[in-house]
Amino acid sequence: MTSPIRVLVVDDSAYIRKVITEMLSRNPGIEVVGTARDGGEALEQTERLNPDVVTSDLIMPGVGGVEFIQRQMAIRPVPIVIVSVASESSEQVLAALDAGAVDFVQKPTALATERVFDVAEDLVAKVTAAARAPVGRISRALLEVPPPVTTIYQNRYSVLVIGVSTGGPQGLKAVVPRLPADFPIPVAIVLHMPMGYTEAYAKRLDDTSALTVTEARDGEPLRAGLVMVAPAGRHLTFYRTGEGKVVAQLGVRPLDTPHRPSVDVMFQSAAGVYGERVMGVVMSGMGADGREGAAWIKARGGTVLTESEETCVVYGMPRAVVEAGLSDQSVPLHLLSAAILERA
C-alpha cells in the first residue's frame, strides 16, 4: 500500500485553509500534514514537516507567494501548486511559475467563497500530479545549455507545432528562446492555460527569445520568425488562402474537446494544410491531448518528437503518444531545441 501524499496548505485566509484541507482530505491518497498563514510560516513548516507538495496562495501579508516559492526553491525544491483568485494579476501567477511552481488552480473569486469547492477535482488532480514531478531535475535541466548546432537548414518542414500542458510555462522557456533568429519555419503552440494568461505569457516568452512571440490573432499569416501562442478559450487551426498564404484561424468549435485550445485540433489542422512538412512536438502535460493529432501528422508523413519522461513535470501527454507508437524520438527537455534544429 502506497503512502498518502503529504500536503502543506498555505493561505492567509483561515476559511480557505479549511476548505482546501477538506477538499484534499476527501481523497484517501492525500494527507494534509499542516497549514501556514504566509510565506514565512510556510518556509518553517516545509522544513519541519517535509511535505511532498505545497499548495500556496500568492497575495499574502509579509512573505508573499512568489517570494516564498523563490526562497523555498533555493533551499530545497518542492512541488508547489499555486491556488489563486481569478482577479489576481496574471503577472503574479507567471512570476510564480518562473520561480518554480509546478501548476496553478484558480479560486472562482476572492469573495464567492461558496464556489471554491468547484475546483476540488482540478486541485486533487494537480496535487497528485505534482507529487510525482521531478522538480529538482527540471531546474537543473533548464540551466544545461546544449552544444551549439550548425544551422544549415534542409527545407524539410514548413511548420513546427508544439503541444504542452502542466509544466509548459517552464518547459517552453528551455525550447523557444534557444531557437535562433534565422529559424526558417513558423512555430505554433497550444498551451493549456486559463483565460487571461496566454497574452501575458507570450509577452514574457518574447522578451527572452530571438524569434517574435505573440498571442495568435485570427487571420494572421504564418511566417518564419514568428511564434504563435493559441489564446485560452479558442482553438488554433490553419487554412490556405487563394493566394497560397497559410493564416491562423481561431474558433470555439469543436465544442466536445477536453481542452480549448486543443493540441489534437491544431495538430490535425497542420497535417491537413502542410501534409508531410509538419514537425510536431508533445511536451509535459496531464492526459492524452496530442495523441490523436500526432496520429494525423504521422499519417501524412510528418515527424513527431516527445519530451522524455526524465524531465516531464507530468509524463501524461508524451506517454500517450509514445505508447501509441507515434513518437519518432523522445528527447529530454534541455536537448529538445537541439533535436528540433538537427531535424530542421
The DSSP annotation for 75-143 comes to: H----EEEEEETTS-HHHHHHHHHHT--EEEEES-SS-GGGGGGGHHHHHHHHHHHTT--HHHHHHHHH
For the cut 60, the answer to whether the pLDDT of residue 140 exceeds it is no
Tell which of 79, 103, 133 closes a domain.
133
* Per-residue confidence (pLDDT) for residue 340, from 0 to 100: 94
Q: Which residues contact 77 (CB under 8 A, 6 or more apart)?
A: 100, 135, 136, 139
Confidence of residue 117 (pLDDT cuts 50, 70, 90): low
Average the pLDDT over 296-314 and give the result: 95
Domain presence at residue 199: yes
Q: Which residues contact 42 (CB under 8 A, 6 or more apart)?
A: 8, 10, 36, 54, 56, 63, 68, 72
Active site residues: 165, 192, 289
Domain presence at residue 274: yes
Domain presence at residue 204: yes
Please indicate, yes or no, whether residues 235 and 116 belong to a single structural domain of this protein.
no
pLDDT digits (tens, 9 = 90+) for 67-79: 999 999 999 999 9
Average the pLDDT over 218-240 and give the result: 95
Domain presence at residue 255: yes
29, 5 contact by CB (below 8 A): yes
Task: For residue 230, give its domain range.
Answer: 152-343
Please indicate, yes or no, whether residues 161 and 95 belong to a single structural domain of this protein.
no
Tell which of 74, 106, 133 closes a domain.
133
Domain presence at residue 167: yes
For the cut 70, the answer to whether the pLDDT of residue 115 exceeds it is no
Percent of the chain with pLDDT over 90: 67
Please indicate, yes or no, whether residues 41 and 189 belong to a single structural domain of this protein.
no
Please indicate, yes or no, whether residues 52 and 188 belong to a single structural domain of this protein.
no
Average the pLDDT over 135-159 and give the result: 64
Average the pLDDT over 227-241 and give the result: 95
Please indicate, yes or no, whether residues 156 and 129 belong to a single structural domain of this protein.
no
When divided into structural domains, the chain yields a total of: 2
Domain presence at residue 114: yes
* Per-residue confidence (pLDDT) for residue 86, from 0 to 100: 58
**Range in 92-106, 112-126, 165-179 the model is least confident about:** 112-126
* Per-residue confidence (pLDDT) for residue 215, from 0 to 100: 96
pTM for this predicted structure: 0.89
Domain presence at residue 147: no
Q: What is the CATH number of the domain that holds 195?
A: 3.40.50.180
For the cut 90, the answer to whether the pLDDT of residue 116 exceeds it is no
Burial class (CB in 10 A: 0-12, 13-18, 19+), 225: middle
Please tell me the distance from the alpha carbon of residue 73 to that of residue 229, in angstroms, as a whole number.
28
Please indicate, yes or no, whether residues 231 and 126 belong to a single structural domain of this protein.
no
For the cut 90, the answer to whether the pLDDT of residue 256 exceeds it is no
Tell which of 104, 133, 162 closes a domain.
133
Sheet holding 53-56, edge to edge: 30-36, 5-10, 53-56, 80-85, 103-107
For the cut 70, the answer to whether the pLDDT of residue 239 exceeds it is yes
